Amino acid sequence: MILAVALFLVTRWVVLVELEPIGSDVEHYFSFVHQAVDLRQTPYDAFEIEYPPAAWWIISAARHLNGPPLANPDDAGLVAASQLDYTRTFRQGMALLDLAAFALFAAIVRRRRPQALGLMLVTYAAATALLGHLLYDRLDTGVLFLLMAWMYAWTRRATDRSGSVGWTAACYAALGLGISYKVVPLLAAPFPLLADWRGPGRARHFAVAAASLIAGIGLPLVIQYALSGPGVFGFLTYQSERGIEVESLYASLMALVSLAGPSIAISFAHGGTDLAGPLAPVMKIMSTAALALLEGGLILWMILRPGRDRAAAAGQLACFAVAAAVILSPVLSPQYFIWALPLILLLAMEVAGGDRRAMILTAAAAIAIAALTTWVFPYHFYYRDESTPLALAPILMDRPLPPSPWPFIVLGVRNAAYLALIVWLGRRLAPAVMADSRDAP
C-alpha cells in the first residue's frame, strides 16, 4: 500500500513537473477558449467544438481561472503568455482529478477485495504513468474520475442498509455527468437502471435514479443550448463521421488484409489519423454491428439472468460494456486506455476471486498494453523523414504509408492482447454474474 502510494506520487510529480509532453492537445483546447473568452465568440455557434458541453466547461474553466479576457487579443505576446498560463492550469486541474480518481479506485478495491489492494494500486499507478504524455494533456482523466465516482457511489449504495437514496442520486449524477462529458459512459447506464427497476424499493430508487441521470445528462446540454443554440449538438455529427482510426482493431485487420491485395493509406480527418481504403466502409459496419451486439447481448443477459443480487451483476456488466467497447469501436485513441485499463483491473478483481495468478497476469497485461501504446504514441507515431524510420503516420509528406511495418505490428500485438483480455474477462464474467455475489463492485 505504501509502495503503491509512493509510486503514484513520484510518477505524477514527474508527469506534471518534469515531463515535456509530446503531442499535447492543450494547444488545441486553448484555440477554443481564446476564441470564446478573448475574442468573445459563441462556442458551438461561431466555431465548432467536437466535445459535449460538460467537456467544454472543463476546457473553458482553466481559462476563466487565469483572469479576465485579454485587453488586446491581437497582441501575440499576450496570447502566448495566456497560453502558457492556460496550459499550466489545465494540467494542474487534470492532476487533481487524477489524484481523486486514484483515491476512489483505492476505496473501491479496499471495500471489494482488500487483499488485492497493493497489487491493484501498483498496477494502476504504473500503467497510467506509462501513458504520461496523455494523462494531463487530454480530457480523458476527467472520464476516469467520473467513472470511478460512479462505481464508488454504486459500491457504497450496495452496502448502505439505511434505505437512503443519497448514494443512488450520487452514482447516477456521476454517470450522467460522465455521459455529458464524453458519450462512452452511456454504455454503462442500462445495467444499473435495470437493477434498480427490479430491485427492492423499486419505485423510490428508480425514480431518483432516472431523475439524477437525466439531470446529469440534460442540464449541461440545456444550459449550453440556451447559450449557443442548436449548434451544441454538432459534436454528435462530428463523432459519427469519424473513420477507422489508425490504432483501432479494424485498422490492424485492414493492415493485415492489405498484404493480400486491398490497398490502405493514411488519412487525416476530424482531428484524427485514420486508415483509408476499400475495406474502411465494411469495417465501419462491422464495428457498428459488434457494438450493437455487445450492448444488446449484455442487456438481454442482465434481464434474463437468475439470482437475487442484480446490483453486483449490474456493476460488472457495466464495466465490461465500457471496457469492451474500446476495442470494438472504430475510433481507438491512445488516451482511452487512461480509463479503460482501471476498468479492466476492477473487473478482473471481481471475476478472478482468489486466483492471485490470474490477477498478476492481468496486471502484467495492463502494464504491457500501456507500454506498447506509448511506444507508438507519441514516440513512433508521426513519420517526418529518415530520422524517424519506425514511425506510423506520414505528416506533411506525399507518402501513402510509412516505410516500416513495425508500427502496425506493435499495434496489432497491442490490440490482440487487449482483445484477448476482454475475451478472458467475458468468459470469467459468465459464472460470476450467474452467481449471487455479495454486493456491487
Tell me the per-residue pLDDT of 331-371, one tens digit each, with 9 for 90 and over: 999 999 999 999 999 999 988 877 889 999 999 999 999 99
Low-confidence ranges of the chain (pLDDT < 70): 161-163, 200-201, 306-309, 396-403, 431-441
- Specify whether the CB–CB gap between 365 and 421 falls below 8 A: yes
pLDDT for the residue 399? 59
- Beta pairing partners, 269: 272
pLDDT for the residue 438? 44
- Specify whether the CB–CB gap between 57 and 43 falls below 8 A: no
Give the integer Cα–Cα distance in Å for 67 and 219.
26
Write down the pTM of the prediction: 0.93
Peptide bond into 73 cis (omega under 30): no
Q: Break the chain into its structural domains and give their ranges.
A: 2-434
Give the integer Cα–Cα distance in Å for 188 and 291.
13
- Specify whether the CB–CB gap between 347 and 353 falls below 8 A: no
| SS3 at position 268 | strand
Other Cβ atoms within 10 Å of 398 Cβ, number:
5
pLDDT for the residue 140? 97
pLDDT for the residue 405? 86
Give the integer Cα–Cα distance in Å for 344 and 337.
10
pLDDT for the residue 5? 94
The amino acid occupying position 169 is A
The amino acid occupying position 1 is M
Give the integer Cα–Cα distance in Å for 38 and 67.
11
pLDDT for the residue 158? 78
CA torsion through residues 304, 307, 310, 312, sign: negative
| Half-sphere exposure of residue 51: CA atoms within 13 angstroms, side-chain side | 21
